[in-house]
Structure 1
């Protein structure tokens, strides 16, 4: 009579461990949880932050209608910039894929890129996020989400 209860209890325990175990292990491996990032609107002004001893600054300028949509210029200034820097454009308010934007080094610590945000059916309601990467590896420790609202034509 006790055996069926033990079997059911063992199955429930294993099922619980398989569901909650990975989350518990990732919390233990990563230590304390990362603080939530704050949004920084690039069209409202430059965004600045520090990563260790390095100072970072991101600035987005609207260049106007390029015939394919509104064109933007992204400028990243970083005292400890990596050799190559990539910006990845992602839909924040709606998933529309990922669009890599390679940044060209202007001077030792200044990178720039010109790009056109893909046209979205929501028009000017679309919020885009720019994530910075060194090749395929995300830049760690960025405390802000670099976002902007798409301009309408």
Structure 2
């Protein structure tokens, strides 16, 4: 009886952890050596220089006075990659996460950039195949981020 209960709990734990990982965000985060303004400017230039399309920047400012909560400015840059329609033809529901985003913020004197790795979308939308496209898109986003944090 104890062994079957232990096996049942193990299976349930495995299923729950798989379920949570399928819906997780898993952002990839980089530290920028530049100010927020310069980092944002470099993101815009990187998007343009790599042949992608800038759409919009959303600005959020928090003024939390509770200890342990973030207080500061957050910028979310919306953009699309060239040939993004190819991945939509692979799995249309991925369009729910388009436009793609790069987030820039400052916290405790450090500037950060974050984005969602396109392979997270593979898990989220159960995309079969299309790994070459997802890899291409991931490399494109990494180029934009590397352009933004590169020191000259």
Pair member with larger Rg? 1
| Larger RCO: 1 or 2 (CA < 8 Å, sep 6+) | 2
Give the TM-score normalised by the residue count of structure 2.
Answer: 0.33
Q: Which has the higher strand share?
A: 1
Q: Which has the higher helix share?
A: 2
